[in-house]
Amino acid sequence: MTLFAAAEPVFAVPVLLLDISLMALLVVVAFAIVRMRSLFAVVMLQGVYSLVCAAWFVSLDAVDVAFTEAAVGAGVSTVLMLSAMLLADRKSTPVPMNRQLGAFIVVCLAGAAMLWAVGDMPAFGDANSPANSYVGTDYLAKTAEEVQIPNVVTAVLGSYRGYDTFGEVVVIFAAGLGVLLLLGLNGNAGRWVARPNGQVVNDRSAPSAAYAKDNRSEDKKKSGEAET
Amino acid sequence: MSAPDPKMTESELPHAYAARDPHVLLRVISKFLIPLIAIFGFYVHFHGEYSAGGGFQAGVILAASVILYALIFGLDEAKRAFPPWLIRVGMSLGVLLYGGTGVVSFLKGGEFLNYSVLNENAISGQHYGIIAIELGVLCAVTSVMIAIFYAFGSRQPETSDEDW
């Protein structure tokens, strides 16, 4: 396998230039997002950021991660951010300088700590890095005989790391459940009907209804029907 | 929709068409693209053992095709194509399928999620297990992504044309 053959990381100049320009693009987009006041443009630029990220991951040979980033980051989460933005506001109000000082100090400290840690990181493509030794080597060596499917990533995620993936699916399920409990699948969270002893009580006729705003459509208000 | 008045001058014609349906290009192109996106999602799922991708990516791509449909044709149309009850069933079914595979391998004498015991041949047992859990991931991810979109999308009135 090529992974074991290359002891010294090899860099091709065009790939290196591509990586550097993609990272420079990421920095430019990030600054544009920070400077922007229109939230619509910010959401769109976040999609652009994810797409550039995905391109960069492809250049790093992490195709599966790039796939996920393009589908989730650039696709679905852009739409979700858009619909969240439509519920909130279209423009952000600028925050005065003195209130940004604390955040600036935290960012500087975190950035300095990361730069300090870079020296301890293994070189890119190093076959002896912790990620490539121990179980990682085992997975690569044994997939061909134990699972016998060509894509090692699927074998690792599905079989060797089945517990982790199960946990991920449960987390996704819990996230969906949480959103449904808070917002309701049809935007009808908090609209309820109870029928104690044949008497119909809903969130409009309940004593607490006087404090809530009625935002049903006109004909539904007349018929007194709860929105389902 | 009727054709515009034939007496109109050439400069008035584009405005007449625009007044009828400002998103006609979007509608036509997305009608062509949405089935392709859905098929690509299934390809990513069923080809996941040979190339990049798998249940999670396929689920997100499938959800994206429904979300695109909802963006172009409206939430009510999307809810007719992919009804909310299917979401509730799908997200629970996905987790049950994954956990159930683990329980079946448990009952057949192996550890939880040890697929080798699913068949006499350990290799095909692994294959069955991976196919089952990937289907579970696909169901759960597709349903949850669409559920979150429906939940957010249903909270607001239809966007007016001035918002674009």
Number of domains, chain B: 1
Burial-class residue A142 by CB neighbours within 10 Å (0-12, 13-18, 19+).
middle
* Integer Cα distance of B82 and B63 in angstroms: 10
Nearest Cβ partner of A166 from B53, B102, B156? B102
Q: Do B130 and A173 touch (CB under 8 A)?
A: no
Q: Report yes or no on B14 lying in a domain.
A: no
Q: What number is the average pLDDT over the span B15-43? A: 84
On whether residue B10 sits in a domain, the answer given is: no
**What is the ipTM score, two decimals?**
0.82
Every domain of chain A and the residues it spans: 1-92+103-124
Residue B40 pLDDT more than 80?
Answer: yes
Query: Which residue, among B82, B45, B55, has the nearest Cα to B66 in the 3D structure?
Result: B82
pLDDT value, residue A172:
94
> Nearest CA of chain A to the CA of B20: how many Å?
25
In b/e form, how buried is each residue of B4-29, taking b as 16+ CB within 10 angstroms? eeeeeeeeeeeeeeeeeeeeeeeeee
- Neighbouring-strand partners of residue A193: A202
A158 touches B: beta carbon within 8 Å: yes
Q: Does A164 touch chain B (CB under 8 A)?
A: no
Q: What is the pLDDT along chain A (228 residues), one digit of tens a residue?
A: 444 444 455 678 888 899 999 999 999 999 999 888 898 999 999 999 999 999 999 988 888 889 889 988 888 899 888 888 887 778 888 888 888 899 999 999 999 999 999 888 888 777 788 877 888 888 888 888 888 888 888 888 888 889 999 999 999 999 999 988 888 877 666 677 777 787 877 777 766 666 555 555 555 555 555 444
Q: What pLDDT does A14 receive?
A: 87
The whole-number pLDDT of residue B159 equals: 59
Instruction: Specify the pLDDT at position B1.
Output: 43
- Does A178 contact chain B (CB < 8 Å)? no
Q: Using the structure block, give the residue that is written with the tokens 């196919």.
A: B131
Among chain A residues, the shortest Cα distance to B49 is held by A151
Residue B15 inside a domain? The answer is: no
Contact yes or no for A150 and B136 at CB 8 A: no
Question: Could you please report the per-residue DSSP string of A96-114?
Answer: PHHHHHHHHHHHHHHHHHH
Give me the residues paired with residue A201 across strands.
A194
CA of A26 to nearest chain B CA: how many angstroms apart? 23
Quickly list DSSP for A6-35: --S----HHHHHHHHHHHHHHHHHHHHHHH
Domain assignment of residue B1, yes or no? no
Hey, is the C-beta of A61 within 8 angstroms of any chain B C-beta?
Answer: no
Which chain B residues touch A158 with a CB distance below 8 Å?
54, 129-130, 133-134
With 0-12 / 13-18 / 19 or more C-beta atoms within 10 angstroms meaning exposed / middle / buried, residue A110 is: exposed
Q: In this complex, do B149 and A76 lie within 8 Å of one another by their Cβ atoms?
A: yes
A1-92+103-124 maps to CATH 3.40.50.300: no
> Which residues form the domain of B124?
21-157
Q: Which residue has the higher pLDDT, B9 or A84?
A: A84
Shortest alpha-carbon distance between residue A14 and chain B (Å): 24
pLDDT at B75: 87
Alpha-carbon span B122 to B124, nearest angstrom: 6
Residue A202, pLDDT score: 77
Asked if residue B54 lies in contact with residue B46, where contact means CB atoms within 8 angstroms, the answer is no
Which of B129, B147, B155 lies closest to A159 in CB terms?
B129
What is the per-residue pLDDT for B152? Answer: 84
pLDDT at B130 over 50: yes
